Amino acid sequence: MNMSMITVAVYCSISSFPSSLRFRRRAFPHLSLSPPSALCFSGLSENIDSGGGGSGGPCIFPLNRCKTIHLVRHGQGIHNVEGDKDYNAYMKPEYFDAHLTPLGWQEVDSLRKDVHDSGLMKRIDLVIASPLLRTLQTAVGVFGGESYTDITDVLPLMVENAGNSNRAAISSLNCPPIVAVELCREHLGVRPCDKRRSISEYQSLFPAIDFSLIDSNEDTWWKADVRETKEELAARGRKFMNWLGTRKEKEIAIVTHRALLLHTLSAFGNYSHPLEKKELSKPFANCELRSMVIVDCVTDRRR
């Protein structure tokens, strides 16, 4: 895919798994999690029969120009509990690289069941995770293998009690590879909860996750006195989407953060119909999954 031409198509943008949304998958078959082709629907149909100027109706793209992505926000972190009530609580040092709460792990277990029951787990080629504790825990909990048993030459995805999880070790068998990518991190700077640990420490907690795409062992992106602007965050998100377009995998799960998702998708929504923009700009709940298609569009349509 051309790195400069990635757009987001709202194909199955409401295939979230919380129980309150499951009825939409049954009521609207075209929101199936198994798109048989690259047919994308904008949700509008006015003027299509009369040849009018409406922007609704089907949009067809060659399948080789499309990827299905499953966007997941991490489960509830310890910083979310107080921070959702008091914004200033995110500044507390004790929330450094926040881990999941017991409720967060319950959310992970629920989403794991849904992705297995729906058959989605069998289709995912790759899982990408932000290199922060709460996203790594969510990624291995949702998309990892079963409980780990000590098998020669097989590393666990997560060791027992990693990040105060009080959880058993998780196997790396019978699951897609998980790769940590710095570009999909949370809003950078100032807040301790968004600063990561050293990669060497993560490698001891998550031995089978691939950290090879991260250049520095220490966190050189996070600054104690400089907060990334929303525009910079959105630009980083678009760069991440463009990088996704270069991957060979066709169906990818991404475990990331609320602000990264909100500002990145809102930026794509600026070029969409208002109904699509509304869907794209809706904030993610903890451990919510939404499926979309990214399309490598050709901007020059001259024949």
3-state secondary structure 65-97: HEEEEEEEECCCEHHHHHHCCCHHHHHCHHHCC
Distance of alpha carbon 251 from alpha carbon 177, whole angstroms: 12
Q: In Å, how far from its chain's centre is CA 47?
A: 35
Per-residue confidence (pLDDT) for residue 181, from 0 to 100: 98
Per-residue confidence (pLDDT) for residue 216, from 0 to 100: 96
For 49, other C-beta atoms within 10 Å of its C-beta total: 8
Asked if 255 and 107 touch (Cβ cutoff 8 Å), the reply is no
Distance of alpha carbon 33 from alpha carbon 85, whole angstroms: 35
Confidence of residue 61 (pLDDT cuts 50, 70, 90): confident
pTM (two decimals): 0.81
Q: Is the pLDDT of residue 179 over 60?
A: yes
Examine the residue annotation and report whether 74 is marked as an active-site residue of this protein.
yes
Mean pLDDT lowest among 179-188, 265-274, 286-295: 265-274
- Enter the DSSP assignment of 100: B
Q: Which amino acid is located at 15 in the chain?
A: S
Overall average pLDDT of the 205-225 stretch: 96
Instruction: Give the pair of three-digit tokens for residue 135.
Output: 């996203």
- Enter the DSSP assignment of 270: T
Q: Which residue has the higher pLDDT, 153 or 181?
A: 181
Sorted by where each starts, the structural domains of the chain and their CATH numbers stand as 61-293 (3.40.50.1240)
Examine the residue annotation and report whether 30 is marked as an active-site residue of this protein.
no
Per-residue confidence (pLDDT) for residue 62, from 0 to 100: 85
DSSP-derived 3-state class of residue 125: coil
Overall average pLDDT of the 212-217 stretch: 97
Q: Which amino acid is located at 5 in the chain?
A: M
Q: In Å, how far from its chain's centre is CA 188?
A: 17
Active-site residue, from 107, 182, 186, 279: 186
Share of the chain above pLDDT 90, in %: 62
Cross-strand bridge partners of residue 148: none
Mean per-residue pLDDT of the chain:
82
Tell me the residue ranges of DSSP E strands in the chain. 6-9, 39-41, 58-60, 66-73, 126-129, 156-158, 170-171, 178-180, 251-256, 289-296
Dihedral, 172, 173, 179, 185 alpha carbons, nearest 10: -60
Instruction: Give the pair of three-digit tokens for residue 3.
Output: 């790195």
Asked if 84 and 20 touch (Cβ cutoff 8 Å), the reply is no
- Residue 114 has φ and ψ, to the nearest 5°, of -65, -40
For 249, other C-beta atoms within 10 Å of its C-beta total: 16
Per-residue confidence (pLDDT) for residue 36, from 0 to 100: 32
Per-residue confidence (pLDDT) for residue 147, from 0 to 100: 77
Distance of alpha carbon 165 from alpha carbon 100, whole angstroms: 7
Distance of alpha carbon 135 from alpha carbon 255, whole angstroms: 6
